[in-house]
Amino acid sequence: MALINVDLELLQRCLQHKPGSWNDFVDRFLGVIYHVIHYTAYLRSHPLRPEDVEDIASEILLQIVANDYAVLRQFRANSSLATYLTVIARRICVQQLSRRTSQLKSDSARIPDRESDPSPARRTGLEELEEVQKMLRKLPAKEREIVRLFYLEGRSYEEISIELKVPVNSIGPVLNRAKQRLRAESDGSPPPPPKSPTPKPSNSSGKIPRKPDRPVDGKN
């Protein structure tokens, strides 16, 4: 996906330390970051207070600007900037949630900081992004676009409906079907087959069975 001009310009301004560029960056992508935090916490059944959300969002932004915007300098424009930042934000959010879970379960007063990664080997944002895009390519075109806009770019149902010209009430079922497809792909198992209709009883002649005639009085 080509990088849109406004994101390219904003990216260059940040890397060149132009005045006001970081504030513009935060205004544009903070909503995406909040969406990632809430959705990641929901998937992991991890309740968050408003102050927890703010802390995690601050940590994500700090890691983006760390080492002279090293995260942004690694961006290769193979996807939209919002998609790339979504992957980065999700990775950092998982680390923060895992750390908080460890702190809650531990009886010790202090737990040494450690980063948790869902995979055995640490993955970079670029590797995760490639995996997400590979899975999305297995979906039909319309489902793929709806999933990308909702999960990767944090769009609302209304925004997706307007952009793709689809009914709002059709987006939820499409997302559910897509999740089932992706879950089946990741598990290596085929999706459950549709239930076959219950066969209706029929006689061998193919004719509609009739009730036997009542015997006439006085006759067998």
We report the CATH number of the domain holding residue 11 as 1.10.1740.10
pLDDT at res. 107: 39
Residue with tokens 């997302």: 175
Confidence of residue 133 (pLDDT cuts 50, 70, 90): low
Confidence of residue 73 (pLDDT cuts 50, 70, 90): very high
Question: For residues 87 and 135, what is the distance between their CA atoms, to the nearest angstrom?
Answer: 14
Segments forming the whole domain that contains residue 43: 1-104
Q: Once rounded to an integer, what is the mean pLDDT over residues 63-91?
A: 91
Query: What's the domain count of the chain?
Result: 2
14 and 92 within one domain: yes
In a domain, 91, yes or no: yes
Which segment of 30-39, 93-102, 153-162 scores lowest on mean pLDDT? Answer: 153-162
* CATH of residue 183: 1.10.10.10
Which segment of 56-65, 90-99, 155-164 scores lowest on mean pLDDT? Answer: 155-164
Residue with tokens 């934000």: 89
Share of the chain above pLDDT 70, in %: 65
pLDDT at res. 217: 53
86 and 32 within one domain: yes
Q: Coil, strand or helix: which one is 216?
A: coil
Q: Once rounded to an integer, what is the mean pLDDT over residues 1-19?
A: 84
Q: For residue range 159-204, what is the model confidence (pLDDT) as tens digits?
A: 888 888 888 888 888 888 877 776 666 555 555 444 444 444 444 4
| 160: exposed, middle or buried (Cβ count in 10 Å: 0-12, 13-18, 19+) | buried
Phi, psi of 58 (to 5 degrees): -65, -40
78 and 7 within one domain: yes
In a domain, 38, yes or no: yes
In a domain, 131, yes or no: no
The dihedral formed by the CA atoms of 212, 214, 219 and 220, expressed in degrees to the nearest 10: 40
99 and 41 within one domain: yes
Question: For residues 151 and 155, what is the distance between their CA atoms, to the nearest angstrom?
Answer: 8
Question: For residues 87 and 76, what is the distance between their CA atoms, to the nearest angstrom?
Answer: 14
Most confident of 40-49, 176-185, 202-211: 40-49
Q: What's 151's DSSP letter?
A: I
In a domain, 57, yes or no: yes
pLDDT at res. 43: 87
Question: For residues 62 and 56, what is the distance between their CA atoms, to the nearest angstrom?
Answer: 10
In a domain, 205, yes or no: no
Q: What's 78's DSSP letter?
A: S
Question: For residues 160 and 166, what is the distance between their CA atoms, to the nearest angstrom?
Answer: 8
In a domain, 36, yes or no: yes
In a domain, 206, yes or no: no
In a domain, 111, yes or no: no
149 and 93 within one domain: no
Residue with tokens 């080997």: 121
Q: Of the residues 104, 120, 147, which one is the last residue of a structural domain?
A: 104
Mean of pLDDT over the chain: 75
